[in-house]
Structure 1
Amino acid sequence: MFRWVLAIAAAVVGVDQATKWWAESVLADESIPVLGDLLVLRLTYNPGAAFSIGARYTWLFAIFAAVAVGVVVRLARNARTRGWAVALGLILGGAATHLIDRLAREPGFMLGHVVDFIDYGGLFVGNVADIALFVGVTLAVLLNLRGSQITRRDTVDFPPNT
């Protein structure tokens, strides 16, 4: 299942980064209404978290994304069902691509702004990684509510014995 997680995560990163490249090249000087004012493609750069909260703490979001990637990889190595592989792959891909933005985009390392371009009726602006994170977390919650475990209890030693 770990290969599925990595493949899904890689697909999310690829699609997210490609759509961000597209948005930067096409939407720099214009907005494109998709569903009137309800859904508009509009380029923004987000230094903070959701709704640009914490814009002065971009470096902290980079650390959080790196920790999230590590935790999800650890969990995903022991995933035993397709549902969990999909959920963890979506979460890993979303967290990884946000980490890439924080590390590699302007204004610099650990301070990079996330490229957002999907405006949801003026409520918030997001990107493909945000969609993947939302769907992945929602799926994980539903799997958990159904009683599905990521792994068998006897296959994970967490915290590890030393």
Structure 2
Amino acid sequence: MNDEGTRTVTDDHRAPAGRRRVALLLAVAALAYLIDLGSKLLVVARLEGRAPVGVIGDWLELRVLRNPGAAFGMGEAMTVVFTLIAVGVVVVVARLARKLHSGPWAVALGLLLGGALGNLTDRLLRAPGGLRGAVVDFIAVRGFSVMNLADWAISVGGFLIVVLAFLGRELDGSGRRDGGEESAAPPAGETA
């Protein structure tokens, strides 16, 4: 809208693109969530209580671990805090979606949302229940951590957010051109 309250050509062009980007965000989030949920159900049913399964020797194994804390087993006494952080991530992504006109940002935020919802589901529904449920982790990388697919989605989404911010890409699809000036148009070959 311009100062007189009428729509400009740019506003008309951006509104439908924004809706498409929100749909992309939701599709990526749903896919990440469903893959995480399905993988957790499968490994709990088939692997829990059994010996680790080597994928790449002992360097990469499938080993079920119930984690009440955060990554690397930290903060086991702070399960409620991690639950509230996950809720906060969901709320922030929902608010950011209103400004979303960028495909790359939609993918990054979708991965973040799907991963947060995957771990939030565990926190709410797995034993001991309430806000204190333990997250099912099962991808064990020797000398690193035991994670799940939600953790990987959060990590990749976070990495993409850092890259997009470093490149000066905005949620609205604009970005910085050489010399630091703002550009409302996306780079050549990419749609807003």
Where does the alignment leave 5 or more consecutive residues of structure 2 unmatched?
1-20, 175-192
Match of 2:129 among 86, 108, 116: 108
Larger Rg: 2
Can you list the C-alpha shifts for 1:59-111, whole angstroms capped at 9, x where unaligned?
Answer: 11111110111001111232111100100000010111111111111111100
Contact in 1 for aligned 2:102/2:173 (Cα 8 Å):
no
Corresponding letter in the other structure for 1:24: V
Q: 1:113–1:15: structure 2 CA closer, same or farther, 3 Å change rule?
A: same
Corresponding letter in the other structure for 1:151: D
TM-score, scaled relative to structure 2? 0.77
- What percent of counterpart residues are identical? 43
TM superposition outliers: structure 1 runs of 4+ over 6 Å:
none
Query: In structure 2, what is the equivalent of residue 56 of structure 1?
Result: 77
1:78 paired to 2:99: yes
Contact in 1 for aligned 2:101/2:172 (Cα 8 Å):
yes
1:65-144 aligned within 5 A: 65-144=86-165
TM-score, scaled relative to structure 1? 0.91
RMSD of aligned residue pairs (Cα, Å): 1.3
Where does the alignment leave 5 or more consecutive residues of structure 1 unmatched?
154-162
Q: 1:152–1:8: structure 2 CA closer, same or farther, 3 Å change rule?
A: closer
Cα shift at 1:124: 0.6
Greater RCO (Cα-Cα under 8 Å, separation 6 or more) = 1
Question: What is the aligned length?
Answer: 153
SS in structure 2 of the partner of residue 116 of structure 1: strand
Cα shift at 1:125: 0.1
**More deviation, 22-31/36-45:** 22-31
Match of 1:36 among 57, 73, 85: 57
Query: In structure 1, what is the equivalent of residue 22 of structure 2?
Result: 2
